[in-house]
Amino acid sequence: MSAGHSSSGLSALLAIGAAFLWSTYFFFVLAMTPGTAPSALMAYPFLIGGGLYIAWAVWFGHGRLVLQLYREPAAWVRVGLIVLMQLSVLGATYTAGAVNTSLLSLLGDAAMTPLLAMIVLREGRHRARSPLFLGGLTTAASGAALTILAGGTVGPFHGWALVIAPFVPLAVGAFFVLSAREGQHRPTSALLGHSTFTGGLVCAVIAGLLPGGWSGLVLTSPHVILLMIGLGSTSFFVATVLYFAAIARSGIILPTLFQVLIPIFTLGLAALLLHQIPTPLGLLGIPIAVAGGVIAYRGALAPAPLPPSTALLDEGGALAPDRPLPAGDRPPPDVRTP
């Protein structure tokens, strides 16, 4: 197996792991409700995940960079996006329902992120001309959407949902793409630690405007506290670590393909934990999504027609922590590859 395909295979495994951990989000939330205020669910996962990221950054000697980012306007743009992403998901859940919100998030992960990567990062533009890649991506997204739609609970958007809905895929795609672009030459631990932890602080400050208010931030149940730590550690830290490690090995396009697995994992966990058996239509969506993902994966491995140096992320090159730059040109890496 060539080194490129070996790197892509590892990237795929990392992205699949991230997709699984993100699929557990709703089950953590379900286990904490009723009784846990939405304001707490907004703030604490960010604070926990961001705190772990900052600890990681300090361990590798990037603590000063985290402080430096507070003086950079671009870093605050990423903070704004991560808060907008969470607020729009929360708002869409209340106005359009959880199922519609899942579809919007899927649109952001599997469609908006690759599109913005091609436009903003100039990465993977040759794939936009690949029938194999585009056909597989469309098939995979359709199969994943089918697993969500099969529940029969999707309704039309109306009222405030029409205003809020577009922000979900836009915020998801923009945050990951801008973070990947900045991660070309800066450690992802510092970048994501700053964005995530500061986003949590902002959510805590504005908690009075959210359901539950500031009083909802007071957690007294040890059971809820443990679940909140689990949610912040998995969906908001480990999953993101795996996702950006996948990007570091293959670029941003390939890992986005595997986000179509999130609703599939969700169906499986619902059957296992909640004994909710998927409908036959939902089960049909699983092989469709998997087959589409395999096709798109093969199309994504097609070589670029231009030299790698012409792409901002080197058409599947590494993020800054992995890139072998001359000594003194960068801080110590926090992600190492063989």
* Per-residue pLDDT reduced to its tens digit, 268-287: 777 788 776 767 776 777 77
Region for residue 328 given its phi and psi (left: phi exceeds 0; alpha: psi -120 to 50; beta: otherwise): left
Helices (H) and strands (E) in the chain, counts: 16, 0
**Average pLDDT of every residue of the chain:** 74
> What is the average pLDDT across 13-34?
85
Which of 4-18, 164-178, 239-253 has the weakest average pLDDT? 164-178
Separation of alpha carbons 131 and 230, rounded Å: 41
Predicted local confidence at residue 183, as pLDDT: 79
Residue, of 118 and 43, whose pLDDT is higher: 43
Amino acid type, 14: L
Confidence of residue 140 (pLDDT cuts 50, 70, 90): confident
With beta carbons less than 8 A apart as the criterion, state whether 241 and 193 touch: no
> What is the average pLDDT across 3-23?
79
Whose tokens are 């923009």? That residue is 174
Predicted local confidence at residue 24, as pLDDT: 85
Residue 304 has pLDDT above 60, yes or no: no
For residue 270, what are the contacts with CB-CB under 8 A and spacing of at least 6? 276, 278
Handedness of CA 312, 316, 321, 327 (dihedral sign): negative
Structure-block tokens of residue 84: 């907008």
For residue 234, what are the contacts with CB-CB under 8 A and spacing of at least 6? 21, 24, 28
Predicted local confidence at residue 11, as pLDDT: 85
Segment 32-54, tens digit of pLDDT: 877 888 889 889 999 999 999 99
Helix or strand or coil: residue 170? Answer: helix
Residue, of 199 and 184, whose pLDDT is higher: 199
> What is the average pLDDT across 50-68?
93
With beta carbons less than 8 A apart as the criterion, state whether 196 and 43 touch: no
Structure-block tokens of residue 297: 């994966």
Residue 95 has pLDDT above 90, yes or no: no
Residue, of 212 and 309, whose pLDDT is higher: 212
In Å, the largest CA–CA distance within the chain is 58
Predicted local confidence at residue 209, as pLDDT: 85
With beta carbons less than 8 A apart as the criterion, state whether 127 and 70 touch: no
> What is the average pLDDT across 3-26?
80
Question: What's the DSSP call for residue 129?
Answer: G
Separation of alpha carbons 228 and 172, rounded Å: 22
Domain locations along the chain: 3-304
Residue 326 has pLDDT above 50, yes or no: no
Separation of alpha carbons 56 and 272, rounded Å: 33
With beta carbons less than 8 A apart as the criterion, state whether 147 and 106 touch: no
Segment 251-261, tens digit of pLDDT: 777 787 787 77
Residue, of 121 and 209, whose pLDDT is higher: 209
HSE at residue 58, side-chain half, CA atoms within 13 A, is: 8
Separation of alpha carbons 259 and 18, rounded Å: 8
HSE at residue 87, side-chain half, CA atoms within 13 A, is: 19
Separation of alpha carbons 263 and 293, rounded Å: 14
Residue 322 has pLDDT above 50, yes or no: no
Amino acid type, 252: I
> What is the average pLDDT across 140-160?
59
Residue 152 has pLDDT above 80, yes or no: no
